[in-house]
């Protein structure tokens, strides 16, 4: 989780509380371990330059989080894509596009291990034995959801339209922040595919889909000591994390809803007139129940609850953030709206739909024809990549030497230089002015918004590429298309976006936006 301002971190009262709660012994242990790691790192490969820093242990951590773009751009232009820096109490390696495929494919470089330094995925687990294989979610997305998007995407969009009707939007309204507004839509859209349309009417469940990440993130947001010494997170999560807090609350909501829904399905399928159809498509939940049959005991309910909670984090949260960012880009660059609206009108007419029809249900076939919208979304995602990310930890007991010569010692992390990947002319040879926003840059270039590669890592790469990116992109395209078609959209305040075209803004996009119904 990124922290925005150095001053707020250094003055945060949680420093005092953390020291008191964890005790001086725990802090001392973390300091000793970190010191040992730093000393060991000096005996390894010293061919790479290191970003200079003032304070031991702190290193460049606060400087980086104060302005990721500024630091990444300065040192990339100075040294190229590969160098080292002291981040999170350790000496990390930063590599560029040429090393990215090897990092993502290396069996001993673990993305999960790096993520667990700040938020251990085990925290999602409930009580009891886990009853499903670790690949269950990936299999559900890859083998069931994605191949059936011609069914799931239009059905999910109908849930979005239902939510629009429920909101009874006025002909003109202004939103001070787009995030909460769009998060509700994505929650309903995603839930229809994950747990079915009937459960979309369960307000308690939709509330969990909508608010779980924000609630849990607020409780877990790491303080300054935990940012500098991620090893302290394991102590916090094991002993001080509020176990009766948000995770427990949202798990209870999800589990109660799942239990009631599964009972209804069992009852329906026990009726004499029920005919099993192996090709019937209901939702991801049905796929899990049918693919991995198991006694419906408490352990299995806890396991299904865990999977739904994970889907909320990796699906609803990331998609709503990407959608919000793309909509703010549209408001920031209103010159693209008319062309995107014209493209949509043409696509709809080819499908026999007139411009006067408001409740259009968009389909994957329509999305494939909206090449300008696809390009716009990819450009939004590209310009958003401004710092270092997608960390992997060397989980082996030996040095890992990449083809470029960069060395990653056991237990140390390697980060991808996302700024270089997405803004370096050598890695993007087809394009000019990479630090400007060009919404139609990728039109007819075979560079789709979902196409992961060495020049585009918005959805990861290789075995860690997001398996649900097609469904996520359909959500973004569908919701954007609705508002482009039916509303004039304009800024009512300064729009702040953190990317290479607006260097002054840090953190999440923000600004007031006005929507005016087109009549």
Binding site for heme, by residue number, is 466
The three-state secondary structure class of 275 is coil
Q: Residue 390: how many CB atoms within 10 A of its CB? A: 21
**What is the chain's percent helix, strand, coil content, to nearest 5?**
55, 10, 35
Separation between Cα atoms, residue 444 and residue 275, nearest integer Å: 46
d(CA 260, CA 282): 16
By residue count, the chain amounts to: 519
Residues in the annotated binding site: 466
63-to-166, 345, 383, 388, 471 alpha-carbon distances in Å: 45, 47, 21, 13, 36
Residue 291: φ, ψ to 5° = -75, -35
Indicate the SS3 state at residue 197. coil
Token pair recorded at residue 284? 């991801």
Q: Judging by beta carbons within 10 Å of its beta carbon (0-12, 13-18, 19+), is residue 84 exposed, middle or buried?
A: buried
Cα–Cα distance measured from residue 43 to residue 46, given in angstroms and rounded to the nearest whole number: 8
- Identify how many contiguous H helices and E strands the chain contains and give both numbers: 21, 10
Separation between Cα atoms, residue 498 and residue 120, nearest integer Å: 28
The span from the CA of 172 to the CA of 354, in Å, is 23
Q: What whole-number distance in Å separates Cα of residue 119 and Cα of residue 234?
A: 9
- Kindly state the helix (H) or strand (E) to which residue 89 belongs, with its residue range: none
Which of 428, 394, 423, 391 is CA-nearest to residue 95? 391
> Tokens at residue 386, please?
């401004």
As a whole number of angstroms, the distance between CA 37 and CA 84 comes to 14
Contact at 8 Å (CB) between 402 and 82?
no
Secondary structure letter of residue 375 according to DSSP: H
Contacts of 183 (CB under 8 A, 6+ apart): 210, 316, 320, 324
CA 161/CA 305 separation, integer angstroms: 27
Give the CB-side neighbour count of residue 318, counting CA atoms within 13 A.
Answer: 17
**517 forms bridges with which residues in the sheet?**
487
Tally Cβ neighbours within 10 Å of residue 281.
16
């Amino acid at each position: 989780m990124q922290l925005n301002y150095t001053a707020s971190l250094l003055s945060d009262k949680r420093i005092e509380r953390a020291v008191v709660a964890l005790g001086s012994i725990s802090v001392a242990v973390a300091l000793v371990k970190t010191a040992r790691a730093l000393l060991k790192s000096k005996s390894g490969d010293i061919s790479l330059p290191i970003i200079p820093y003032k304070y031991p242990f702190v290193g460049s951590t606060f400087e980086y989080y104060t302005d990721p773009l500024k630091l990444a751009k300065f040192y990339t232009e100075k040294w190229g894509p590969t160098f080292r820096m002291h981040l999170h109490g350790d000496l990390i390696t930063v590599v560029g596009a040429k090393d990215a495929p090897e990092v993502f494919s290396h069996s001993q470089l673990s993305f999960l291990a790096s993520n667990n330094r700040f938020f251990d995925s085990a925290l999602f687990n409930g009580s009891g034995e886990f009853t499903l294989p670790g690949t269950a979610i990936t299999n559900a997305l890859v083998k069931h959801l994605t191949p059936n998007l011609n069914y799931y995407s239009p059905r999910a969009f109908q849930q979005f339209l239902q939510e629009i009707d429920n909101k009874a939007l006025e002909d003109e309204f202004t939103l001070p922040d787009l995030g909460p507004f769009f998060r509700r839509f994505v929650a309903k859209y995603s839930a229809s595919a994950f747990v079915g349309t009937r459960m979309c009417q369960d307000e308690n469940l939709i509330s969990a889909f909508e608010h779980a990440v924000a609630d849990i993130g607020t409780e877990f947001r790491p303080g300054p000591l935990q940012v500098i010494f991620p090893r302290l997170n394991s102590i916090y999560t094991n002993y001080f994390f509020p176990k009766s807090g948000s995770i427990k609350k949202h798990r209870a909501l999800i589990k109660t809803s799942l239990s009631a829904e599964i009972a209804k399905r069992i009852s329906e399928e026990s009726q004499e007139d029920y005919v099993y159809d192996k090709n019937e498509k209901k939702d991801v939940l049905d796929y899990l129940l049918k693919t991995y049959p198991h006694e419906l005991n408490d352990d299995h309910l806890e396991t299904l609850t865990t999977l739904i909670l994970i889907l909320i984090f990796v699906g609803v949260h990331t998609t709503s953030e990407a959608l919000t960012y793309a909509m703010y880009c549209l408001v920031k660059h209103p010159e693209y709206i008319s062309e995107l609206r014209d493209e949509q009108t043409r696509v709809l007419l080819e499908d026999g739909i007139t411009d006067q029809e408001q409740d259009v249900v968009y389909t994957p076939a329509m999305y494939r024809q909206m090449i300008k919208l696809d390009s716009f979304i990819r450009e939004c995602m590209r310009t958003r990549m401004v710092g270092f990310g997608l960390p992997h930890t060397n989980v082996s007991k030996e040095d890992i030497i990449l083809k470029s010569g960069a060395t990653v010692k056991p237990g140390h992390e390697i980060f991808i230089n996302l700024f270089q990947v997405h803004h370096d002319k050598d890695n993007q040879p087809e394009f000019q002015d990479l630090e400007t926003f060009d919404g139609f840059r990728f039109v007819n270039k075979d560079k789709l918004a979902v196409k992961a590669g060495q020049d585009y890592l918005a959805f990861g790469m290789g075995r860690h590429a997001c398996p649900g990116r097609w469904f996520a992109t359909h959500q973004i395209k569908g919701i954007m298309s609705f508002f482009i078609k039916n509303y004039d959209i304009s800024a009512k305040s300064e729009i702040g976006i953190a990317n290479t075209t607006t260097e002054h803004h840090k953190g999440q996009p923000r600004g007031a936006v006005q929507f005016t119904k087109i009549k």
